[in-house]
């Protein structure tokens, strides 16, 4: 991921420790040298090796590890942020790991790197709040109309399913919903790249929090921005 600023290994270490808790809503956190979920030790790390532009955590065990060995690393190099997991053996079979844990790992790491990259410079001209509200109203109205027409006796469930499927598909494919197309705006990651399916889902789930706080918390959590165009 492209990074517009130089980031030290110490900063990468400290931000990762903070982001683990923030991005999992406090469910997972780093306690000492261990990554824990409640009382469960998911992974146990050795002493982190911090360099001028990176940090490595050797993996020593934990419930998720099939055996000690491997390392988790984050580096800032050549104007890019790079995260890697090398030599890690999951406890569960690899096909099951690829279907369950790996997508979650990818999402959390992507969100972390976007947060480390920062929101500046912006990936484009931010869309005006009035346009964002108008686009949201159009999309909600469209989903409601379809649910009323096709939902029959289960209109609420149909509406919820449409809202999730419609927004995740639109944001992760083109960044534009019908409302966004009419309002002349699209959703992108803060580095200008396309929004992933996981980011889209996180953004949608955090939308009620944004509505309560009257602040774009969903974009802050998902590492996204709404830009004109």
| Chunked mean pLDDT (size 10), the chain, 229 residues | 92 95 91 94 96 97 96 94 95 96 94 94 95 96 93 86 97 98 97 97 94 92 96
Can you give the residue ranges of every domain in the chain?
9-117, 129-228
> Measuring CA to CA, which residue among 217, 229, 122, 222 is closest to residue 175?
229
Percent of the chain as helix, strand, coil, to the nearest 5 = 50, 25, 30
List all residues 6 or more positions away from 191 whose beta carbon is below 8 Å from its beta carbon: 1, 2, 114, 117, 123
At residue 153, the pLDDT reads 77
Show contacts of 86-89: CB within 8 Å, 24+ apart: 87/59, 88/59, 89/65
d(CA 116, CA 129): 26
At residue 27, the pLDDT reads 93
3-class DSSP assignment, residue 127: coil
d(CA 66, CA 84): 18
At residue 111, the pLDDT reads 96
> Measuring CA to CA, which residue among 100, 97, 45 is closest to residue 74?
45
3-class DSSP assignment, residue 4: coil
Cβ distance 183 to 147 under 8 Å?
no
At residue 214, the pLDDT reads 87
At residue 152, the pLDDT reads 77
At residue 37, the pLDDT reads 95
């Amino acid at each position: 991921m492209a990074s517009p600023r130089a980031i030290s290994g110490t900063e990468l270490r400290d931000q990762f420790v903070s982001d683990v808790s923030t991005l999992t809503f406090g469910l997972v956190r780093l306690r000492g040298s261990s990554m824990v979920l409640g009382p469960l030790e998911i992974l146990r790390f050795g002493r982190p090796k911090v360099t001028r532009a990176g940090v490595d955590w050797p993996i020593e065990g934990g419930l998720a590890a099939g055996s000690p060995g491997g390392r988790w690393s984050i580096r800032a190099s050549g104007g890019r942020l790079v995260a890697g997991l090398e030599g890690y053996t999951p406890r569960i079979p690899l096909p099951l790991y690829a279907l369950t844990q790996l997508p979650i790992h990818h999402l959390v790491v992507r969100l972390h790197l976007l947060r480390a990259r920062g929101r500046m410079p912006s990936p484009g001209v931010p869309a005006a709040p009035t346009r964002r509200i108008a686009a949201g109203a159009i999309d909600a109205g469209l989903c409601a109309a379809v649910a009323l027409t096709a939902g029959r006796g289960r209109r609420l469930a149909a509406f919820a399913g449409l809202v999730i499927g419609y927004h995740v598909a639109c944001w992760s494919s083109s960044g534009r919903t019908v409302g966004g197309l009419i309002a002349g705006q699209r959703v992108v990651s803060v580095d200008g790249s396309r929004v992933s399916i996981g980011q889209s889902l996180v953004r949608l789930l955090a939308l009620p929090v944004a509505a309560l706080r009257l602040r774009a918390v969903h974009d802050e959590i998902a590492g996204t921005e709404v830009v004109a165009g």
